[in-house]
Structure 1
C-alpha cells in the first residue's frame, strides 16, 4: 500500500480505538480465539510438535487471510485505507486497557476492594483473592505497562513493517500466547511454540515501548536508569524492558511476589530504591500509556515514510544503472 494510504488508515484506526474501544460483541480477535480453540480441540497432544502445528495453522491462517484481503484492495485507495483502518482498530486495545485500569483504580479509591478483585481478571491472570489493595494497584500498573507493548506498540510496529498481514499476524500470535502459552499442565508442551514465537515477534515492540516511555515519561532519566539496570532481571524478555521503564518513569517500585492460579512467583524487584505503587499511580500509568501510544502511531507512520523513501531511491538508482 502507498504511504499515504497506510498513514491515513493507521491514523483512522487509532482514532477509532480512541473513541470506541473494543466492540462488546463480534470482535474479530474474539472470533479468532474461538477458531483457535476449535483447532486446539482437534490437534491437542501433550507434545511440542502438535503445538507447533497449532501455531502454524492459526497464525499462518490469520496472516494468509489478511494477505488475501490486502491483495483484493491493492491499487484501490479508498478500500485500502478502509481495510487498514479496520484492521488497526481491530488489533489495538489501548482504550479498553485504560478503561479497565481506571475502573479498578476507581474501586480501590472508593475502598471497595472486592469490586477491584472482581475486575482484575479482565486485565491480568493473577489470583485476585491473594492480593491486598496495594498489590492490586501494583498489578494494574504492571499490566498497563506490559499491555501498552502487546496491545498497541507491537501491533503498530508490525503494521508499519508488514501492513494488514503484519497487524493480523502479530495479534494472532499474541492471542495464541494468552490462550496456550502459559505453563499449565495442559499447555506446558503444547503451548511452547506459541510462547516462543510471541517472544520473538514481541521483541522489537517491547524495546520500542521502553524507548518511547523514556521520551514520554515524567522522569526520562529515571526511566532510562531503571530500564538499563533492571530490565534483564525480569523473567520475561519483553515485559522486563517495558515494566522497568514504566517503574523508572513513574518513580515506583514494581515486581516482587505475585500469584497465578495458586502458583506463587518471586520475581526480582524493578526500581528497588523507589516507593511502592499507590492507587493514584494507576491514572498516571494510563496517561503515560496514552502518550506512548500516540508516539508509537507517529513512529509507525514515520518509519513507513522512511521505508517508502528508501525504496523509491533504490528504484531510481536501479533505473539509472539500467539506462
Structure 2
C-alpha cells in the first residue's frame, strides 16, 4: 500500500471500531488478539523466567523473550498484510484486523459506565466499575476519587489504546500496530516491579516507554486542539498544565495526556494513590478542583471524543494531500 492508502485504511479501521467495537459473542468464541498475545507472553515467562537464575541472567532472558515476541508477531502481521494486499477487498480485511487492536469504543463504554454508576447506583457500584479500568485499589476511593480515577484512565488509555496504535499503523502498517500491541501487552503483564518480573520484565517496560513516547505527546496536542471546539474546555489551561506538570509524572508518558485533560477541564488529577496495599506518591496534574464528579467524567469524554474527531480529520487531510 502507498502511504495515502495506508491512511485511508486506518480511517476505515477507526470507523469500524467506533461503530462495532469487538463483539462479545466473538470474544466468547475465539478470544481477542491481545489475549492470544498474552498467552504467548505467559508461555515465554513460564519457560524462560526462572527464579534460580541470577538477576542479570533473568534480565537477559527478558530481552530474549521480548525479541522472540516482536519477531513472531511482526512476521505474522507482515504475512497477513502482504496476503490481503493482493486479494479482492484486501484493504477492508486489513482495516478489519486493525480495528481489533484499537479500543475507542470499549474505552468510552467503560468510562461512561463509571459516570452512570456514580449517578444512578451509588459508590459501591462505581468502585466496581472503575476497578475494571484501573490498577489501583478502588476500595480506598471516595466518589470524587472514583471520578478522578476514571478520568485519569481515560487520558492514559486514549494515548495507549487509541493514538499509539493509530500512530504505529500510520508509520509501519499492520506490523507496526501488532508489534506495538505486543510490546504494550508485555509491559502490562511482566513490566511491573514485582520480585518475579523486576529483572525479566525490564526490557518490556523500557521499550514500552519508548514506543509510547510519540503518542503521549500527540495525545496532549490533540486534546489542546480539541479544546478549541469543545464548550467549557480551555486551550490555555491545557497548554499551561502540560508545560508545568507533564514532566513531573513518575511515568515518562502518562503525564502528557493526564495534564492536558486536567488543564482543559480545570481539574487536579493524579497525586498519591494506592495499588493493592501500597501507597504510591506522585505529582499532581493540573491546579483546578479535586472534587471531580460524574459530569466531569462526561466532560472528559466529550473532549476526548472531539480529539478523536480531530485525529480522523487530520488523517483524512494528510491522505488526500499525499500522492497515490
Q: Distance in 1 between matches of 2:65 and 2:289?
A: 43
- Measured after TM superposition, the shift of residue 116 of structure 1 is 1.6
Kept in 2, the 8 Å contact 1:117–1:129? The answer is: yes
- Is 1:43 equivalent to 2:48 in the alignment? yes
TM, length-normalised to structure 1: 0.90
- Is 1:54 equivalent to 2:59 in the alignment? no
Kept in 2, the 8 Å contact 1:161–1:304? The answer is: no
- Is 1:185 equivalent to 2:195 in the alignment? yes
Map 1:172-321; keep pairs closer than 5 Å: 172-217=182-227, 218-303=233-318, 308-309=322-323
User: How many residues are matched?
Assistant: 308
Q: Distance in 2 between matches of 1:68 and 1:75?
A: 11
Q: Distance in 2 between matches of 1:19 and 1:183?
A: 37
Q: Secondary structure at the match of 1:276?
A: coil
- Number of the residue aligned with 1:321: none
Map 1:65-214; keep pairs closer than 5 Å: 65-76=76-87, 78-79=89-90, 81-214=91-224
- Is 1:34 equivalent to 2:39 in the alignment? yes
1:63 to 1:299, Cα distance in 2 relative to 1, 3 A: farther
Q: Distance in 1 between matches of 2:314 and 2:197?
A: 36
Q: Distance in 1 between matches of 2:4 and 2:246?
A: 36
- Number of the residue aligned with 1:319: none
- Measured after TM superposition, the shift of residue 232 of structure 1 is 0.5
Kept in 2, the 8 Å contact 1:214–1:249? The answer is: yes
Q: Deviations over 1:139-187 (max 9, x none)?
A: 0000000000001011111111001111111111111111111222221
Q: Distance in 1 between matches of 2:285 and 2:49?
A: 37
Q: Secondary structure at the match of 1:264?
A: strand
- Number of the residue aligned with 2:54: none
Unaligned runs of 5+ in 2: 52-57, 228-232
RMSD: 1.9
Q: Distance in 1 between matches of 2:5 and 2:149?
A: 39
1:305 to 1:169, Cα distance in 2 relative to 1, 3 A: farther
